[in-house]
Amino acid sequence: GAGVSQSPRYKVAKRGQDVALRCDPISGHVSLFWYQQALGQGPEFLTYFQNEAQLDKSGLPSDRFFAERPEGSVSTLKIQRTQQEDSAVYLCASSSRGRLGGYTFGSGTRLTVV
């Protein structure tokens, strides 16, 4: 597609519920990133894929967070047993390999845990 598409745009979850956030990157973009942006803060890195390989997951805050990209295109970020501190905007970005700064961000999914 023309841009990075994320769904849903908004998600309200009850505490303890599992959620799945989807990212559809730009076609052909090898690299895919997930970021978490808390209210009033800058985005914080969560995890990075190159094709289907998850090369860096150092930013995932706990083992309740899991990301996958099984076919090297669409990615899903899953959060199990959501907690209130998980409330944030989750941003996905994709990039052409080797293209410095060519990150394109999606509009994000705003997750609110109540």
Partner 1 sequence: GDSVTQMEGPVTLSEEAFLTINCTYTATGYPSLFWYVQYPGEGLQLLLKATKADDKGSNKGFEATYRKETTSFHLEKGSVQVSDSAVYFCALSPAGTASKLTFGTGTRLQVTL
Binding positions for partner 1, rule: CB under 8 A: 4, 31, 33, 35, 40-45, 48, 56, 59, 91, 93, 95-108
Helix (H, G, I), strand (E, B) or coil at 37: strand
Q: Output Rg (C-alpha) for the chain, integer angstroms.
A: 13
Residue type, 53: A
**CB of 33 vs partner 1, minimal distance in Å:** 6
CB of 42 to partner 1, least distance (A): 3
Residue listed under structure tokens 């094709």: 51
Q: Which is closer to partner 1, CB of 87 or CB of 96?
A: 96
